Amino acid sequence: METTSGVRCPRAMRSNGERIKTQRFVKEGTEAAAVAKVAAGIQPLSGAAQSHLLCRSDSLLIIQALFKKLNLRVRLKRCFQHIQNSKVIGFSVTTILLIVHSMLGYRRLREMERYKEDPIVLRTLGLSRLPDVSTVTRRLSEVDKESIEKVREMNRDIVLAPLTAMLVSRLTMDFDGSVLSTGKFAEGTAVGFNKQKKGQRSYYPLFCTIAQTGQVLDMYHRPGNVHDSNGAEDFILRRIQDVRSVLPRAQLEARLDSAFFSDTHVDMLDTEDVEFTISVPFERFTELKDMVEKRKRWRPLDGKWSYFETRWSPKCWGEDFRFIFIRQKVKKQNKEPVQLDLFIPHESGYEFKVIVTNKKKSTRNVLLFHNGRGAQENIFGELKSQCQMDYIPVRGLAGNQLYLMSAVLSHNLLRSLQMERTQPQKRTTEKRSPLWIFQEANTIRLHILHRAGRLTRPGGKLRLTMSGNERTKKTFLDYLAALGAAA
């Protein structure tokens, strides 16, 4: 029951049909005084009145249908079946709770108190009562490394399943790390490169994302004081093998930044018949610097970009590869005092970059393809700001890894939900943008998940009543029909 000062409270109905008396509140000094009066008069519902249950996340029924279609509950039980557990709140239930927690947009574990009595949340979890925060943290402290590996494998299966059904002919993987900072001590953290929060302990996991779906295929957890390429060779090779096992005829592509530039990575990708582009830290090689400085003739791509290319390799490499030298025309920053003269011309300069690749396409296509890897930063931004991936909840390493995987799963499942509703809406582009037009997690929450409703049981059959909005109704029914749960 919501009220504001100076207006009447909306009428409510008791279970016996008797109306609650309408009260009028007049401003007395401040608005806070009126609100305090209202709050003092609110009483909890009696047992009889709870036959009409209010819920603020009623559209979690769609998420419940998605979980059922993906058989998520059974899959998670298999991930933890090797752990002897006689507790009522098992590890699989805890993981589903963390996924729902992230989907609803909450960050800290203590914020479970905000929805602990929501009947739709309880139905989604299959519980009659939500566990305490202390219970959840205990479960996180009992998770082991084998469980994390199985959850990662389950996530890979969920991401690759729709692509396997589509028989995609080309699949693009982006590899990069992302810093997860914490202001407290946690197992496995270390002080390393941290541009935003210098000196803080952090993790530095390496991620593999799929460009066609914008989902995270897998992650390799690492402390914060390692180099980007630490453990990358084995991780990249295993992900290539995972994709090849389900899509043997698809042409695989990979995009990496300059931290991964080495002969081992280049040889491995070329040997595995993966088309790749890797940024080159050409400042480390005086030969490349001389090539750029002595070059007089650059081929124009457009009014902004120009290039030349050559076959080259560092002295320690055994094979030459295609190196593309690109310069971009930019305006130089004017560091002189600001003058109120509109007719001072802008001085132009150039920014340079080098890309090594084994692709046979034109320079323009290679440049656009490589620049498309910037979309991975958008995925990291959404994971951190909207799925709470950067939150470190406990001190144990495995518990933090499970929370991280729960955040990744919530992002992937929200993408899978939208993929279930519609067919691919775009073709493969030069930048390898997603084949679907996805909504961000916050948009899905506003349009679908955070919709108030009333759960009733007329004639012994559950019924969910929502406000009459035709667009929301259509969206709701479209999702249920796509998930095979409209009945």
Q: For 19-59, how does the pLDDT look when each residue is reduced to its tens digit (9 = 90+)?
A: 333 333 333 444 444 334 433 443 443 443 444 565 666 66
Percent of the chain with pLDDT over 90: 61
Q: Which residue has the higher pLDDT, 455 or 4?
A: 455
Q: Put the strands of the sheet holding 53-55 in their side by side order.
A: 53-55, 453-456, 463-466
Structure confidence at residue 87 (pLDDT): 72
248 or 346: whose pLDDT is higher?
248
**Residue 484 pLDDT class (50, 70, 90 cuts):** confident
SS3 percent helix, strand, coil of the chain, rounded to 5, is 40, 20, 40
DSSP secondary structure, 328-358, as one string:
EEEEPP--SPP-S-TTPPPPEEEEEEEEEE-
pLDDT digits (tens, 9 = 90+) for 140-189: 999 999 999 999 999 999 999 999 999 999 999 999 999 999 988 999 99
Stretch 343-358: mean pLDDT = 83
Whether residue 475 has pLDDT greater than 90? no
Asked if pLDDT for residue 335 goes beyond 90, the answer is no
- How sure is the predictor about 452, in pLDDT bands with cuts at 50, 70 and 90? confident
Alpha-carbon span 329 to 455, nearest angstrom? 61
Greatest mean pLDDT range, 122-126, 323-327, 338-342? 323-327
**What mean pLDDT do residues 99-120 have?**
92
pLDDT of residue 338: 61
Q: Mean per-residue pLDDT for 125-136? A: 91
DSSP type of residue 223: B
Q: What is the pLDDT of residue 447?
A: 86
The token pair at 470 is: 């035709």
Measure the CA angle with vertex 471, ends 465 and 473; round to 5°.
Answer: 30
CA nearest to 270, candidates 240, 228, 231 = 240
How much is the pLDDT for 16?
Answer: 39
Residue 54 has what pLDDT?
A: 59
- Across 78-89, average pLDDT: 83
Q: pLDDT-derived band of residue 4, with 50, 70 and 90 as boundaries?
A: very low
- Alpha-carbon separation of residue 192 from 179, 199, 259, 401, 417 (angstroms): 9, 7, 15, 19, 37
pLDDT of 41 reads 44
Residue 65 or residue 10, greater confidence: 65
How far apart are alpha carbons 261 and 175 in whole angstroms? 12
pLDDT at position 455: 77
Q: Residue 469 above 90 pLDDT?
A: no
- Give the relative orientation of helices 397-421 and 145-166 as an angle to the nearest 10 degrees: 20
Cα torsion for 205, 208, 212, 213, to the nearest 10°? -50
The Cα–Cα gap between 443 and 460 comes to: 35
Averaged pLDDT score across all residues of the chain: 85
Mean pLDDT over 111-126 rounds to 89
458 by DSSP, 3-state: which?
helix
Is residue 340 scored above 80 in pLDDT? Answer: no
Q: Is the pLDDT of residue 294 over 60?
A: yes
Instruction: Give the per-residue pLDDT at 56.
Output: 61
Torsion angles phi and psi, residue 8, rounded to 5: -80, 150
User: Are 363 and 309 within 8 A, CB to CB?
Assistant: yes
Q: Which residue has the higher pLDDT, 103 or 11?
A: 103
The CA angle 395-397-403, to the nearest 5 degrees, is: 85
pLDDT band at 451 (very low <50, low <70, confident <90, very high): confident
Looking at residue 156, its pLDDT comes to 97
Spatial separation of the C-alpha atoms in residues 58 and 118, rounded to whole Å: 9
What's the mean pLDDT in 265-278?
96
Contact of 188 with 225, CB cutoff 8 Å: no
Q: What is the pLDDT of residue 390?
A: 93
- pLDDT band at 12; cut points 50, 70, 90: very low
Task: Look at 430 and 284; give whichever has higher pLDDT.
Answer: 430
Question: Is 332's pLDDT higher than 80?
Answer: no
pLDDT on residue 459? 81
Contacts of 275 (CB under 8 A, 6+ apart): 251, 252, 253, 254, 357, 358, 359
